[in-house]
Amino acid sequence: MTAADLKVAAGNTRWFHTMDLGQGVRTTGVYDPSRTLPRLALPARLDGMRVLDVGAWDGYYSFEMERRGATVLATDRFAWCGESWARRNRSYSRAGRSGRTSPTSTLTRWI
């Protein structure tokens, strides 16, 4: 996929996580986990380890663990029911940046 194709595809998707997709393309998500990642104090390398990421959303942490060398299996509820989180709960995608709702309250309504 070319950088131009990737940029178009990323622009046509509603993202929860802001993340670098490579080739100079960055998603525009509701939450940027790269700001809080250093607080987790994760090892620089995870070679030979396996990670199960339940509740992966767009997969920021899954990709980060893979980048550090882990083998990752990631899943989330919307993957099980075939709906994207944005279609499932449009109020969150509209209100997420304004502070009118939170991921926790949104997830509670889903369950």
Tokens of 50: 């396996």
CA 105, 73, 29, 90 dihedral sign is: negative
- Give per-residue pLDDT as tens, 18-73: 999 999 999 999 999 999 999 999 999 999 999 999 999 889 999 999 999 999 99
Distance CA 45, CA 60 (A): 16
Q: List for the chain the helix, strand, coil content (%; round to 5).
A: 40, 15, 40
Q: What is the pTM of this model?
A: 0.67
Q: Are 72 and 51 in contact (CB under 8 A)?
A: yes
Tokens of 84: 């994207």
